[in-house]
Chain A
């Protein structure tokens, strides 16, 4: 019985919450019998793919579902109050909320101070001047530098991490007992994410706050939460303590999610295990197991009505005991039809590329008023045939810009580019365009919404004269086969495809010209883990089948570790470390690589404090750009002298003043090799 789990005096107690929205196909059952409980001071993680109903839980707790939604619950209690009726009185006051997109959550026309003090004045009746003082103190408590100044600033003047701190401060301003965190770090860099996570951990201890953390990232859930509930298509799949659920998962869905996750501590772990298929149609009521159509272990009997069983560790799987020792199956490696690793000849060589951005309009340029920013600063990088080079770094470090420079999509200020033995002129030739292509991150904007998949692919085919006339359709079919999409998709429009399918079309379009080199610009970052795993597997297979070389740009070290042969770490327009993936992920590290690796929340890793403060600081014009953030800064030499390139091994280069022996004597952040 679920009642056995009911926490005594729970801060939040949800029993059998169901939510349905009206939609074109009838009522859409967004949540179906969801039960959760958070004890005072407890942190519960709510995980699941997009569309699983995570955010609906948050909105239901806040009473913000809108008039069209049909809500029912046996119990929706917060500290003795019935949220179905009293949510509007409690939100902002006793229940604080932090949203994912801080840029949208803060009003751009009001100062931080006026937004932060509003709940204090409104809910606590504190007079304005006192509220202002309290707000300043609150920002200071959350580690915002120069809080008095920030209070008078506007949202656009703050960095992403600062905005999220302000967002948390605003949620705390009404002195709540419960904090709802809806993907609070998803939009942030790992280094900033690590800071926000330790801040939240700190807050919970100091203020004995209860928290509900909604996230798709299993790593941060493991880092922060006591207990976890896994949501699938509006129903609870599994729930229990974090240790039990994430370390010994029992529901096939949880097993699948964990198997699909690329992890930096397991480079080259073979193929990832994607979960096939997509969410079931939520407008059709089906009492049976809602995961059975995608489940690797489904059998007769799975269509029986589904119920959550167990006391402390609850699982809603009919075959839980049968599959207890099974792990999610990994697709077999494709037959070894792959091209034998050829002599790895240099394919693309970038020599000292740089580009400058900004500097105002042509008038200020003529007057020499502002010089702009050197977004890519004399970078040299080479890629061999059939090789995957990962490019990793925080947002704004120049990764995407470098990728576009290497395709001559942006005009380089300095430097040369060689491809296949010949120089590529700034006005790239048609032959270079054919041989070097790009895959984009956002599959929503990368496909023309007014063209069918067939037109999108056909245009690329015709443009490069790969086929003419009736042969174009055959070539489109070949491309769809290549990315494992049904040929019937040629008549579909992008909005009729799922995110993963759109990304496959994007890949097929890039492959239309049979290129030798692909820039994958955050090609899997916008996808759910289960879909991401499938696309990563596809990209690996394509590399083996076609011998394409990739420049794989990502902010996710796990993805890079999984797919790359070599890694380049970029910081503020410079490559600070470069080498084979195993060397880069092990000491000696560049201090920045060390910071990145220590910031990644990993399942099963002990909490360790990251070695360096990472307040975004402006780089010195001379010297090492990372000096201002570096925990191992030697002294003035770092600020004045450009760091030398040190060879830490064959092919492994670190750009740092610190002697290699010292760099080698740091903890191995990813733990012992798996």
Chain B
């Protein structure tokens, strides 16, 4: 009968694939340290720079610590940096964007010019600026990375909200005499969040990467923490003798980034009206 009656072959969507991978990584980060037999911080100099084997699947580093244990122990740092930074920029950026869209006068000028100023600085430089003046640490990395992505969210939120504020249902709310808060909360935000969430999903990748880059430069969590960027930095002296010390955290970072990116892309397919037709076609 109908062509449409034939059931379509069902491939796991991008979202399902990414979410599964991410869930595996998060699980590993939580339960991993209890499962491994090695303490990720205790030195065992006798076993330094051992190649991957059954005992040490990812080998050992220059102090004889098991690389796999260290990667598992450090996973939560990258995850925290990525999602924490995004949460910070969300909490700061979205309200600022909404306010800038609603109050088009001096308030908007102040917010948007401040945002321009932040955008003018390269992200790594901005992170350095925040971290260089005070002793480094995980929360400061998160805050610095979060700050980097505030301008993007302010601009996005404002652009989306500006379009929505022209809609007649907002005019109707104004005609009822509603002020900024009820209009933004009831009328704008429920319509604005899909593009914002999509943007966040894709930005988490960059946030993780930037966090690791700052750690690599020594501006993140300090040794003996096993932040992946920091591990790459520590292992690079032995790159020719013991490449696994660098490669293992590097590849872990890759897998994490790909999974987060897949989730972001999947969210976009679900929520972006421009792609919706294609997804269901």
A409, B171: Cβ atoms under 8 Å?
yes
Q: How far is the CA of A506 from the CA of B175 in the complex (A)?
A: 13
Per a CB cutoff under 8 Å, which of B175, B178, B190, B191 touches A407?
Answer: B175
A464-B176 CB under 8 A given contacts A445-B168, A446-B169: yes
Per a CB cutoff under 8 Å, which of A22, A24, A438, A442 touches B175?
Answer: A438
User: Considering the complex, which residues of chain A in the window 398-443 have a beta carbon less than 8 Å from any beta carbon of chain B?
Assistant: 407, 409, 428, 430, 433-434, 436-438, 440-442
User: Considering the complex, which residues of chain B in the window 1-21 have a beta carbon less than 8 Å from any beta carbon of chain A?
Assistant: 1-4
Residues of A within 8 A of B199 (CB): none
Can you pick out 14 interface pairs between chain A and chain B where the beta carbons lie within 8 Å of each other? A22-B3, A26-B2, A26-B4, A407-B175, A409-B174, A409-B175, A437-B175, A438-B172, A438-B175, A445-B168, A448-B186, A450-B190, A463-B178, A506-B172
B172, A509: Cβ atoms under 8 Å?
yes
A22-B4 CB under 8 A given contacts A409-B175, A428-B177, A450-B191: yes
A449 is an interface residue with CB less than 8 A from chain B:
yes
With both chains docked as a complex, state the minimum distance between the C-beta of B202 and any C-beta of chain A, in angstroms.
Answer: 23
A463, B187: Cβ atoms under 8 Å?
no
B39 is an interface residue with CB less than 8 A from chain A:
no
Q: Closest chain A residue to B178 by CB distance?
A: A463
A22-B190 CB under 8 A given contacts A438-B172, A440-B172, A448-B169: no
Residues of B within 8 A of A409 (CB): 171, 174-175
Residues of B within 8 A of A430 (CB): 177
B167 is an interface residue with CB less than 8 A from chain A:
yes
With both chains docked as a complex, state the minimum distance between the C-beta of B8 and any C-beta of chain A, in angstroms.
Answer: 13
Q: Which residues of B contact A (CB under 8 A)?
A: 1-4, 167-169, 171-172, 174-178, 182, 186-187, 190-191
B190, A27: Cβ atoms under 8 Å?
no
B174, A446: Cβ atoms under 8 Å?
no
Residues of B within 8 A of A437 (CB): 175-176
A447 is an interface residue with CB less than 8 A from chain B:
yes
Q: Mark A491-510, 1 if CB is under 8 A from B, else 0.
A: 00000000000000010011
With both chains docked as a complex, state the minimum distance between the C-beta of A507 and any C-beta of chain B, in angstroms.
Answer: 11
A460, B4: Cβ atoms under 8 Å?
no
A22-B2 CB under 8 A given contacts A433-B177, A463-B176: yes
Q: How far is the CA of A407 from the CA of B4 in the complex (A)?
A: 51
A27, B2: Cβ atoms under 8 Å?
yes
Give the total of A residues in contact with B, Cβ under 8 Å: 32
Residues of B within 8 A of A509 (CB): 172
| Known contacts A409-B171, A409-B174, A463-B178; 15 further A-B pairs (Cβ under 8 A) | A407-B175, A433-B176, A436-B175, A440-B168, A440-B171, A440-B172, A445-B168, A445-B169, A446-B168, A447-B169, A448-B191, A450-B191, A460-B176, A463-B176, A510-B172
A208 is an interface residue with CB less than 8 A from chain B:
no
B171, A438: Cβ atoms under 8 Å?
yes
Q: How far is the CA of A591 from the CA of B190 in the complex (A)?
A: 50
Q: Closest chain B residue to A512 by CB distance?
A: B176
A451 is an interface residue with CB less than 8 A from chain B:
yes
Residues of A within 8 A of B182 (CB): 463
A514 is an interface residue with CB less than 8 A from chain B:
no
Per a CB cutoff under 8 Å, which of B3, B167, B177, B190 touches A451?
Answer: B190
Residues of A within 8 A of B174 (CB): 409
Q: How far is the CA of A22 from the CA of B281 in the complex (A)?
A: 11
Q: Closest chain A residue to B182 by CB distance?
A: A463
A204 is an interface residue with CB less than 8 A from chain B:
no
Q: Closest chain B residue to A439 by CB distance?
A: B172
A629 is an interface residue with CB less than 8 A from chain B:
no
Residues of A within 8 A of B187 (CB): 448
Q: Which 6 A-B pairs have the closest CB atoms?
A: A433-B177, A446-B168, A440-B168, A450-B190, A448-B169, A445-B168
Residues of A within 8 A of B4 (CB): 22, 24, 26
A459 is an interface residue with CB less than 8 A from chain B:
yes
With both chains docked as a complex, state the minimum distance between the C-beta of A328 and any C-beta of chain B, in angstroms.
Answer: 33
A354 is an interface residue with CB less than 8 A from chain B:
no
A35 is an interface residue with CB less than 8 A from chain B:
no
Q: Closest chain B residue to A433 by CB distance?
A: B177
Residues of B within 8 A of A22 (CB): 2-4
With both chains docked as a complex, state the minimum distance between the C-beta of B164 and any C-beta of chain A, in angstroms.
Answer: 9
With both chains docked as a complex, state the minimum distance between the C-beta of B258 and any C-beta of chain A, in angstroms.
Answer: 32
Residues of B within 8 A of A572 (CB): none
With both chains docked as a complex, state the minimum distance between the C-beta of B21 and any C-beta of chain A, in angstroms.
Answer: 31
Q: Which of A450, A464, A509, A510 has the most CB of B within 10 A?
A: A450
A449-B191 CB under 8 A given contacts A22-B3, A409-B171, A440-B171: yes
A513 is an interface residue with CB less than 8 A from chain B:
yes
Q: How far is the CA of A510 from the CA of B175 in the complex (A)?
A: 9
